A and B are shown apart, each in its own frame.
Chain A
Amino acid sequence: MSTQPLRHLLEQAFPDATELDVVDRTGGGDHFQVTVTAASLSGLSLVEQHRRVYEALSAPLADGTIHELRIKTKGAA
């Protein structure tokens, strides 16, 4: 899978994102690094922030498209 469908899912889940990035870590289309900074993440624990990302990407996680996912999240001021 290219990064574009994942980026689209994240853009839908985080319309307020000030930073949103998806990197294919290995070039193989299944190991991704996701970075999201959004005001809607402010005040949430890291566990809750990452849960939001997992929810946004639940379909490609469930069907095995994403083999490995690294997440970096931040609440925007």
Chain B
Amino acid sequence: MSYSDKIKQVIDGSDVAIFMKGTPAFVMCGNSDRALQALRRAGASVTAVDVLPDPAIRQELSAISGWPTIPQVFVKGELVGGADIVEELEANGELEQTLRERLGDDYAAAREEATITLS
């Protein structure tokens, strides 16, 4: 399977997907950290993909999403935005509202973080 197929699988198959530099356990970029922290504050379980192992991951992701920068956050297959948007939505309460609407009221009941390595 190509990166593109795997990327689409993660986007469509995860409640909340974050494509980031590094992993939740070892974040390699301030912006990826900002987005991850906002998702944590909102109580979201996340599936994280590290884009750093191969530049092709980032290229193919941007071709799919039409979004040029990292991180990229998706909820139920839909692009929510990068670090600036996710932080802004978390600050004004809209992130929780979106998570509630798309994932259900109990979305934060059991917080988990999964990391997927694409290769």
Contact = CB atoms under 8 A, between A and B. Distances in A.
A71 B69 CA distance: 11
Given A46-B81, A46-B85, A72-B84, A54 B31 contact: no
A70 B85 contact: no
A8 interface: no
A54 B66 CA distance: 10
Nearest to B66: A51
Interface residues of A, number: 13
Interface in A18-60: 46-47, 50-51, 54, 58
Contacts of A47: 67, 79-81, 85
A68 interface: yes
A66 B68 CA distance: 11
B82 interface: yes
Contacts of A51: 66-67
Looking at chain B's contact residues, the main secondary structure is mixed
Given A46-B89, A47-B79, A71 B68 contact: no
B85 A54 contact: no
A51 to B, nearest CB: 7
A72 B91 CA distance: 14
B69 A69 contact: yes
A58 B81 CA distance: 17
B31 A50 contact: no
Interface string B51-95: 000000000000000111100000000011111110011000000
A50 B67 CA distance: 9
Shortest 8 CB-CB contacts between residues of A and residues of B: A46-B85, A71-B84, A47-B81, A54-B68, A61-B68, A70-B84, A47-B79, A46-B81
